[in-house]
Structure 1
Amino acid sequence: MSHSPFIVSTEVADALAAGRPVVALESTIFTHGLPRPRNLEVAREAEASLRASGVTPATIGVVDGVPTIGMSDAEIERLSLDDTVVKVSLRDLPIAAAKKLNGGTTVAATAYLAHLAGVKVFSTGGLGGVHRGAETTFDESSDLGTLANVPLVVVSAGVKSILDIPLTLERLETLNVPVVGYRTTDYPGFYVSDSGYDIEYSVDSPEEIAAIAKNRDAIGLKSTLLVANPVAEDKQLPPEVHVAVLAEAIEASHTAGISGNETTPFLLDYIQRATKGASLDVNVEVYRGNVALGGLIAAAMQKA
């Protein structure tokens, strides 16, 4: 190859070498998850909030086929405005490289690249998981398998509520991926602070999370520590609205014959339109909270 297979920005490389806290951020939230111009505003806000707290952001994406850990502001703007940008999961990285594509990296690809660069904390919105009907379709996100094999700390607001949450939690257990709730044992459902399902352990502070990660590393476990960070109750989608709209969205997908990779974007788009954009506001609040907590955890891990 005439070029590096991946790039770590000077800012991120210097921070890692100096032992300063770094938080990885995915790019699909601004390439595929939010409308323009809000997508670029949210991406820039996330980076600015981390820098203001003394943490280096490492926004990860694929630029002209090159996985980039620590995209520049110009690169973030370019991908956020690119109509041809593709969604890149872990399996797609070599294809994107050969075709020199611009891509927003999913949780799976972002987690893998963060680990490759030596970044230990990753903040995202919601995770992929086991899809409804997976007992017959075997449809589950590649996020789960990847997180079982990279020793990161990943902060999310649970898995997206359009998925099968109890089966996802069972699958995470099978994959030996530990899940802790941040100051709660109610597992969040992305748009709502309580999905209706419980998890066994809660943690009270970033320092406790750092201690768990340190002990995991000490005994050689290779799976991600998932931190479930619920959106504040006053910022969530009203639970009764969430239940009703989700049921409508699922029924509409069945009526339209939607299946496979088309299911998630269809359901999310339906929920956005049915809530008149309120679900997007919750999405942004979720992300802000997770980015902030990720910064605190990264700082705590540098001191542990």
Structure 2
Amino acid sequence: MTSIAHSAAVSAALRDGKPVVALESTIITHGMPWPQNVETARKVEAAVRAGGAEPATIAVLDGVIHAGLEDSQLEAMGKATGFLKLSRADLGYAVATRKNGSTTVAATMIAADRAGIRVFATGGIGGVHRGVEKTYDISADLQELARTPVCVVCAGAKAILDLPKTLETLETLGVPVVGYGSDEFPAFWSRRSGLAAPMRLDDPADIAALIRARAELRLDGGVLVGNPIPLADEIAANEINPAIEAAVDEADAMGISGKALTPFLLSRMLDLTQGRSLIANIALVENNARLAAKIAAAL
């Protein structure tokens, strides 16, 4: 059976029953440019620690799944090229062939579950892409939420996606979607999407109670918590939407699809917003890390 390499700090926290929060690593290798990628990873880990939990950044290094990275490993990942972007389909391939890979939401959930970690903070989940009727492009993150018992704290699905179809798919899959302190499902860079959150909870302890209740009922899958970006850091939907439309049109014209699509769109958003999307992205990830630490502590 494939083992997971826990960092010394994560191993100690799990042994002592202290809260641990999983963090994904595609933000380092595919989501942000150097040096903001490593700076953000360090800030997010610090936010988890400030909340009283131990961060466990997940990655595959030379075929070994790591739960918790040393600072030197974060630095090396931030500068590296050629890292695979891993989801459920190719996580085993990376292990078998001793590759390096960063983990998407789906792969991070799998590794966190195997490592004994119940709460995971990310920026935004993947979902149903625009134009899905032509491309059938739907992120594996949604199916993973329906099958793997990890609570995922995010700022909603990435706003480059088809948010109504993403929410509808989550409902079909039986994934509980919680608006934290909000009646609306957040839209990543924006606090408001115009889409109602199926459930609302205002206290991390209540979210922990939901997680426990689902475990007692033996319900498969995780809990998705939509945590709106702080008001001071958001880009309102009416501001950001024209840039999203332009980026999506460019990708379509260039024939960019599959795993290359999201990194391309996020990169173009950085250009089209003159860097504002990156500033907002960093703020929302830190905000999610703080909430995830509180939920993990409540569990």
TM-score (norm: length of structure 2): 0.95
Does 1:143 pair with 2:135? no
Q: In the TM superposition, what is the alpha-carbon distance from 1:91 to its structure 2 partner?
A: 1.6
8 Å CA contact retained: 2:64, 2:95: yes
Q: Which has the higher contact order (CA 8 A, sep 6+)?
A: 2
Does the residue aligned with 1:32 lie in a helix, a strand or coil?
Answer: helix
Q: Which residue in the other structure is 1:121 paired with? A: 119
CA distance, structure 2, for counterparts of residue 282 and residue 109 of structure 1: 24
8 Å CA contact retained: 1:245, 1:271: yes
Q: Comparing 52-61 with 280-289, which one deviates more in the overlay?
A: 52-61
Where structure 1 has 5 or more consecutive residues not aligned to the other structure, the ranges are none
CA distance, structure 2, for counterparts of residue 137 and residue 84 of structure 1: 26
8 Å CA contact retained: 2:6, 2:66: yes
Q: Which residue in the other structure is 1:93 paired with? A: 91
Runs (4 or more) in structure 1 with deviation over 6 Å come to none
1:108 to 97, 106, 109: 106
CA distance, structure 2, for counterparts of residue 213 and residue 95 of structure 1: 31
CA distance, structure 2, for counterparts of residue 110 and residue 36 of structure 1: 22
Q: How does 1:238-249 map to 2 (within 5 A)?
A: 238-249=236-247
Q: In the TM superposition, what is the alpha-carbon distance from 1:34 to its structure 2 partner?
A: 1.1
Q: How does 1:1-304 map to 2 (within 5 A)?
A: 5-301=3-299
The 1:37/1:109 distance shift into structure 2, 3 A limit, reads same
Query: What does the per-residue CA deviation read over 1:226-264, in whole Å, with 9 as the maximum and x for residues that have no partner?
Result: 000010222111332212111222222233333333332
CA distance, structure 1, for counterparts of residue 237 and residue 89 of structure 2: 36
User: How high is the sequence identity, in percent, across the aligned residues?
Assistant: 45
CA distance, structure 2, for counterparts of residue 32 and residue 255 of structure 1: 22
8 Å CA contact retained: 2:106, 2:141: yes
Does the residue aligned with 1:227 lie in a helix, a strand or coil?
Answer: strand
Aligned residues: 299
Q: In the TM superposition, what is the alpha-carbon distance from 1:204 to its structure 2 partner?
A: 0.8
Does the residue aligned with 1:23 lie in a helix, a strand or coil?
Answer: strand
8 Å CA contact retained: 2:85, 2:259: no
8 Å CA contact retained: 1:26, 1:106: yes
CA distance, structure 1, for counterparts of residue 162 and residue 91 of structure 2: 27
Q: In the TM superposition, what is the alpha-carbon distance from 1:290 to its structure 2 partner?
A: 0.2
8 Å CA contact retained: 1:128, 1:144: yes
Query: What does the per-residue CA deviation read over 1:166-207, in whole Å, with 9 as the maximum and x for residues that have no partner?
Result: 111111111111001001111111011111211221101001
CA distance, structure 1, for counterparts of residue 81 and residue 32 of structure 2: 13
Q: Comparing 260-269 with 141-150, which one deviates more in the overlay?
A: 260-269
The alignment's C-alpha RMSD in Å is 1.5
Where structure 2 has 5 or more consecutive residues not aligned to the other structure, the ranges are none
Q: In the TM superposition, what is the alpha-carbon distance from 1:152 to its structure 2 partner?
A: 1.3
Does the residue aligned with 2:152 lie in a helix, a strand or coil?
Answer: strand
Q: In the TM superposition, what is the alpha-carbon distance from 1:151 to its structure 2 partner?
A: 1.1
The 1:63/1:260 distance shift into structure 2, 3 A limit, reads closer
8 Å CA contact retained: 2:4, 2:115: no
The 1:85/1:259 distance shift into structure 2, 3 A limit, reads closer
8 Å CA contact retained: 1:62, 1:101: yes
Q: In the TM superposition, what is the alpha-carbon distance from 1:135 to its structure 2 partner?
A: 2.6
Q: In the TM superposition, what is the alpha-carbon distance from 1:66 to its structure 2 partner?
A: 0.6
8 Å CA contact retained: 1:79, 1:103: no
8 Å CA contact retained: 2:121, 2:153: yes
Does the residue aligned with 1:231 lie in a helix, a strand or coil?
Answer: coil
The 1:261/1:54 distance shift into structure 2, 3 A limit, reads closer
CA distance, structure 2, for counterparts of residue 118 and residue 138 of structure 1: 33
